[in-house]
Structure 1
Amino acid sequence: MSASRKLASFRLPPLPTVGELIKLYNLRAEKQLSQNFLLDLKLTDKIVRQAGSLRDAHVCEVGPGPGGLTRSILNAGATDLLVVEKDTRFIPGLKLLSEAAPGKLRIVHGDILTYRMDRGFPSNISTPWEGDPPNLHIIGNLPFSVSTPLIIKWLEDIANRTGPFMHGRTRLTLTFQKEVAERLTASTGSKQRSRLSVMAQYLCTVRNCFTIPGRAFVPKPEIDVGVVHFTPLVQPKIQQPFKLVERVVRNIFQFRRKHCHKGVEKLFPEACRIELTQEMMQKADVDPILRPTELTIPHIKALADAYAHLCSREPSLNTYEYREELGMKHLTRQKYAPMDTLMDSPSSAPPSPLQPC
C-alpha cells in the first residue's frame, strides 16, 4: 500500500469518547468563555467535510476544547494538525489524542488572537496567490465571544497577505452564531446585509454550509450555529487598503435604516461635511438615497475609491474619526455646563479638532 493510501485510511485507535473524557477530567464549559462542546462525531465529521479533502493536509484547529473536531480532522487524513487552545484544562485530553496519533498532532497553549500562525507551518507548503490554494486549512468551532473579532482579523490578514495567508489563499471552515453566519453570507437587499457581509464578500467567496441546532451542543446555547466556509479571492473586489474600506463600510452601516449619504457624511469633519459628502457621492456616481443594505460591492468600491481620492487630496482625513469629534464635544459641554446657552450660539461654538477644508 502506498504512503498516501496509508494516510488516507488512517483511523484513530479506540479511545474514550469525548463525553467520557469530559467526565474523566471533570471538564465544564465556562460560560464567561462562551464555550459549548459538540460531542456528536457525525456532526464534527460533517463540519470537516465542508473544508474539502484533508488528505496529506496541514490544518490549524482553533479552540479544540475536548477534541471532538480534532478527532474528525485526524480521521479525515490530515498529516499535520496544529491545535491552539487557550484553556489549560483541555491540554491533558489533547495530549491523549496526540499519543494516539504519533507525529500528527501538535499542541499550542495560547490565544489564537495573538498566536503567530504564520510561524506554525513550513514554508514549503506555500503556493502562489494566483494559483490553487495551499493544502493548508483553518478549522474551528469558535467560541461566540471571539468569532467576530477573529474573522475581522483574518480578513485583514487576507487583504495584506499576512499571517496564515503568507502561504497563499488558505481556506477557512468556521462556526458562528447563526445570525452572524447569515450576515457573513447575506446578499444585497436582504435584512441581514451588514458590515460583515461586505467585508467578507469583497475578499472571499463565502458559503453558508449548514446549520447545527443548539440542542447538539453541551451546554445547549440559546441559538443555533452556522458553519461557514471562506476561500480568499485571487483579486479582491475593492483595490484599496483594508483599513480604508473598513472605515467607509463601518460609517455607512452605522445608519443602516437611513439613506447611505447619512453614514458617508460622518467620514468628514463638520466644517466641510456637506460639500465633501456631495463630492464623494457624485464622484462615485452612487444614488445618495439608497439604503446601506441596497449597496452592491461595486457601489462600495466606487465609494471607497472616491474617498481614497479625497484622502490623497486632504491627508488629514485619514486620521479623522467622527466618534472622537463627538466625544470632544461632549467633554466640552461637560466642562462648560453652566454656559450651555453661550456654547449653543454659533459665534462661541468650539472649533472642530480637524479643519481640512
Structure 2
Amino acid sequence: MRLPPLPTVSEIVHLYQLTARKQLAQNFLLDMNLTRKVVRKAGSLDGGFVCEVGPGPGGITRAILNTAAKRVVVVEKDGRFIPGLQMLADASEDRMKIVHGDILQFKMEQIIPETYRVPWEDKPPNVHIIGNLPFNISTPLIVQWLEDIANQSGAWSFGRTRLTLTFQKEVAERMVAPVSSDMRCRLSVMCQYLCDVSLKFGIPGKAFTPAPKVDVGVVQFVPLMKPRINLPFKMVEKVCRHVFHYRQKMIKHSIATLFPVDMPELTAEMFERSDLDPSSRPPQLKLRDFSKLCSAYNDICCQHAFIFDFDYRSRKHAKLLRRGRNTLIEKLEEKSLVDLPETESSDVEVPVR
C-alpha cells in the first residue's frame, strides 16, 4: 500500500512554518531512510493496528502508511501538526485517524478494535505502538506503560502488545544494561523483569531537526508471558527505587531507607529472608536477587501494614517519628485503612496478602 505523491516532510515543515519547540523537547526525524528503518524494526505490520505516539510532521507516519497496516491512529499533542497530518489521513484511504491529545492522559484501549484481542498466553497481537518520543516524557511514559503491562491493562488488555520507541541513547542503554554494567539502574530492572528489551540501532543526533546534543536509540519491548518478579508493580518499583538510591554503596544502606530509622531490625530481617549479602552493590544484583528482596519486603509489609506507606524522605513522617514510633505507626495505619479498596483490583497499591 503506497501513498499517492505528496509534498515531502521537509516541504510540509516549510509549508506550515513548523518549528520544534524546546519546551516540548521536539526533534523532527525527516530522513525517510531512517523512518522506514524504525518501522521495519517494529516487525510485520500487515493487517495490523498501529498507534503512533507524537508523529509531529509525519515522517514515521508516512513509513507506517507505506506498509500494509490496516489501521493507523496517531496521537499528537501539538495542534500545529494537525493540518499536515490531515493531508496524510486524506491520502490514506480512511486507514488513518488523528487524535489531538496528550499521550500521558490517553486511554489507548478505547481505540483498539476488539478483533485484535488475544489471550495473554498467545503470541503478541497484531497491535503495535511506535513513536519518536520527546525526551522530556519518554521515561515517565515508559514507566506508566510498564505498569499497564504488569497489570495487563490499557493497550495490554489486548495481549502482549509490542512497543518500538526512540529514547535518548543513554536512557536506551540503561534499559538494556546487563548485570554489573555501569549503566545498570532502576529502569534496567523495571524494563527487564516485565519485557524482553532490545536496542535495535542508534541514530546520530545530527539526523534530527534541530539536532539534539545527544544520540538516540531505538528500543523494542516485547512483554513476557510471565514476569520475572511475580509481585505487584508498585511493590517492585519501590524496592528498585530504594536499592538504586545509593547505587555505588553497599545495599544495606539502600535497604535501610525502606524502614524508619529506629527499626533497624527490619533491615536485618530483609537480608535474613532474602539470603543476600548486605555488602553487595546494586548493579551486581540479578533479577532473581531483586525477586528475593521484593518477596522479603512484601512479607514484612504483610506483618506491618504501615511500612509500605512509609517514606523516609517525607518531612511529615520524620516529624511524626520524632514524636515516637507509635505516633508514626498510628498515622500510617490510618492512611492504610482509608486507602484500602473495597474490592480487589489489579493495580492495588498495597502489599500482597
Report the TM-score, using the length of structure 2 for normalisation.
0.91
Shift of 1:355: 4.0
| 2:173 is the alignment partner of 1:185 | no
SS at match of 1:77: coil
Shift of 1:271: 2.0
1:132 to 123, 139, 156: 123
Task: Name the residue aligned to 1:224.
Answer: 215
Task: Name the residue aligned to 2:283.
Answer: 293
SS at match of 2:130: strand
2:84 to 85, 93, 116: 93
| 2:51 is the alignment partner of 1:60 | yes
The answer to which of 26-35 and 262-271 deviates more is 262-271
2:200 to 209, 215, 233: 209
Task: Name the residue aligned to 1:247.
Answer: 238
Provide the C-alpha distance between the structure 1 equivalents of 2:101 and 2:130, rounded to a whole number of angstroms: 16
Shift of 1:328: 5.1
> Contact (CA 8 Å) 2:121, 2:225: kept in 1 or not?
yes
2:274 to 284, 288, 292: 284
Percent identical pairs in the alignment equals 53
Task: Name the residue aligned to 1:51.
Answer: 42
SS at match of 2:206: helix
Counterpart of 1:108, as a letter, is: V
Provide the C-alpha distance between the structure 2 equivalents of 1:234 and 1:328, rounded to a whole number of angstroms: 39
Task: Name the residue aligned to 1:354.
Answer: 328
Counterpart of 2:328, as a letter, is: L
Question: How many aligned positions are there?
Answer: 330
SS at match of 2:170: helix
| Cα offsets for 1:295-354 (capped at 9, x unmatched) | 100000000001111111111112111111x4654x79xxxxxxxxxxxxxxx9543552
SS at match of 1:254: helix
> Contact (CA 8 Å) 1:44, 1:69: kept in 2 or not?
yes
Unaligned runs of 5+ in 2: 331-353
Extract structure 1 runs of 4+ deviating beyond 2 A. 326-329, 348-356
> Contact (CA 8 Å) 1:184, 1:196: kept in 2 or not?
yes
Aligned CA RMSD, in angstroms, stands at: 1.5
| Cα offsets for 1:203-233 (capped at 9, x unmatched) | 0000001110000000000000000000000
Task: Name the residue aligned to 1:233.
Answer: 224
Matches within 5 A, 1:284-323: 284-323=274-313
> Contact (CA 8 Å) 2:311, 2:317: kept in 1 or not?
no
Q: For residues 271 and 27 of structure 1, do their structure 2 counterparts lie closer, same or farther at Cα, with a shift above 3 Å needed?
A: same
Task: Name the residue aligned to 1:30.
Answer: 21
| Cα offsets for 1:54-87 (capped at 9, x unmatched) | 1111000000000000000111211100000000
Counterpart of 2:232, as a letter, is: P
| 2:265 is the alignment partner of 1:275 | yes
Task: Name the residue aligned to 2:93.
Answer: 102
> Contact (CA 8 Å) 2:177, 2:188: kept in 1 or not?
yes
Provide the C-alpha distance between the structure 1 equivalents of 2:305 and 2:329, rounded to a whole number of angstroms: 11
Provide the C-alpha distance between the structure 2 equivalents of 1:239 and 1:233, rounded to a whole number of angstroms: 12
> Contact (CA 8 Å) 2:310, 2:317: kept in 1 or not?
no
> Contact (CA 8 Å) 1:65, 1:85: kept in 2 or not?
yes
Task: Name the residue aligned to 1:336.
Answer: none
Provide the C-alpha distance between the structure 2 equivalents of 1:293 and 1:39, rounded to a whole number of angstroms: 38
Counterpart of 2:272, as a letter, is: Q
SS at match of 1:354: helix
> Contact (CA 8 Å) 1:59, 1:136: kept in 2 or not?
yes
Counterpart of 2:141, as a letter, is: L
Counterpart of 1:281, as a letter, is: F
Task: Name the residue aligned to 2:33.
Answer: 42
1:148 to 139, 145, 161: 139
Report the TM-score, using the length of structure 1 for normalisation.
0.90
Counterpart of 1:114, as a letter, is: Q
Q: For residues 309 and 349 of structure 1, do their structure 2 counterparts lie closer, same or farther at Cα, with a shift above 3 Å needed?
A: closer
Provide the C-alpha distance between the structure 2 equivalents of 1:267 and 1:191, rounded to a whole number of angstroms: 24
Provide the C-alpha distance between the structure 2 equivalents of 1:125 and 1:173, rounded to a whole number of angstroms: 18
Counterpart of 2:295, as a letter, is: D
Task: Name the residue aligned to 1:341.
Answer: none
